[in-house]
Protein backbone atom coordinates (compact mmCIF):
# COMPACT_ATOMS: atom_id res chain seq x y z
CA UNK A 1 0.00 0.00 0.00
CA UNK A 2 1.28 3.50 0.74
CA UNK A 3 4.15 4.34 2.98
CA UNK A 4 4.16 7.22 5.41
CA UNK A 5 6.07 9.54 3.08
CA UNK A 6 3.70 8.92 0.16
CA UNK A 7 0.68 9.51 2.37
CA UNK A 8 2.16 12.77 3.65
CA UNK A 9 2.86 13.90 0.09
CA UNK A 10 -0.72 13.15 -0.97
CA UNK A 11 -2.08 15.09 2.02
CA UNK A 12 0.12 18.08 1.20
CA UNK A 13 -1.08 18.06 -2.41
CA UNK A 14 -4.71 17.86 -1.26
CA UNK A 15 -4.21 20.83 1.06
CA UNK A 16 -2.59 22.85 -1.71
CA UNK A 17 -5.26 21.98 -4.28
CA UNK A 18 -8.37 22.31 -2.13
CA UNK A 19 -7.14 24.95 0.24
CA UNK A 20 -7.31 24.92 4.01
CA UNK A 21 -10.80 26.46 4.06
CA UNK A 22 -12.43 23.60 2.15
CA UNK A 23 -10.94 20.71 4.16
CA UNK A 24 -13.31 20.87 7.17
CA UNK A 25 -16.30 21.02 4.85
CA UNK A 26 -14.96 18.08 2.85
CA UNK A 27 -14.36 16.02 6.00
CA UNK A 28 -17.85 16.85 7.28
CA UNK A 29 -19.42 15.72 4.00
CA UNK A 30 -17.40 12.50 3.99
CA UNK A 31 -18.51 11.79 7.58
CA UNK A 32 -22.16 12.32 6.70
CA UNK A 33 -21.86 10.04 3.68
CA UNK A 34 -20.21 7.33 5.78
CA UNK A 35 -22.97 7.54 8.42
CA UNK A 36 -25.68 7.32 5.76
CA UNK A 37 -24.05 4.30 4.12
CA UNK A 38 -23.65 2.59 7.49
CA UNK A 39 -27.29 3.13 8.44
CA UNK A 40 -28.54 1.95 5.04
CA UNK A 41 -26.38 -1.18 5.24
CA UNK A 42 -27.74 -1.93 8.70
CA UNK A 43 -31.34 -1.41 7.52
CA UNK A 44 -30.83 -3.71 4.54
CA UNK A 45 -29.26 -6.38 6.73
CA UNK A 46 -32.18 -6.23 9.19
CA UNK A 47 -34.69 -6.34 6.34
CA UNK A 48 -33.07 -9.42 4.80
CA UNK A 49 -32.81 -11.17 8.17
CA UNK A 50 -36.50 -10.63 8.99
CA UNK A 51 -37.77 -11.80 5.60
CA UNK A 52 -38.00 -15.62 5.38
CA UNK A 53 -37.05 -17.27 2.11
CA UNK A 54 -40.14 -19.06 0.73
CA UNK A 55 -39.64 -22.80 0.47
CA UNK A 56 -36.13 -22.68 1.87
CA UNK A 57 -36.64 -25.84 3.93
CA UNK A 58 -38.04 -27.96 1.10
CA UNK A 59 -35.84 -26.61 -1.68
CA UNK A 60 -34.07 -29.34 -3.64
CA UNK A 61 -30.77 -28.71 -5.38
CA UNK A 62 -31.10 -27.63 -8.99
CA UNK A 63 -29.67 -30.30 -11.28
CA UNK A 64 -28.73 -29.52 -14.86
CA UNK A 65 -28.49 -32.43 -17.26
CA UNK A 66 -26.60 -32.40 -20.51
CA UNK A 67 -23.92 -34.10 -22.52
CA UNK A 68 -20.25 -33.49 -23.14
CA UNK A 69 -19.32 -32.51 -26.67
CA UNK A 70 -15.75 -33.04 -27.83
CA UNK A 71 -14.35 -31.25 -30.83
CA UNK A 72 -12.26 -32.99 -33.47
CA UNK A 73 -10.01 -29.99 -34.09
CA UNK A 74 -9.11 -27.28 -31.63
CA UNK A 75 -10.70 -23.94 -32.39
CA UNK A 76 -8.34 -20.98 -32.68
CA UNK A 77 -9.04 -17.94 -30.55
CA UNK A 78 -8.71 -14.51 -32.08
The C-alpha angle 56, 60, 61, rounded to 5 degrees, equals: 110
Whole-prediction pTM? 0.44
Cβ distance 15 to 23 under 8 Å? yes
Over residues 6-19, the pLDDT tens digits come to 988 988 888 888 78
The per-residue pLDDT for 54 is: 66
Residue spans of the chain under pLDDT 50? none
The per-residue pLDDT for 75 is: 67
Amino acid sequence: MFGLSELALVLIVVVLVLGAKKLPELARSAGKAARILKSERKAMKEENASRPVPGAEARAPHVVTGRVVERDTPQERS
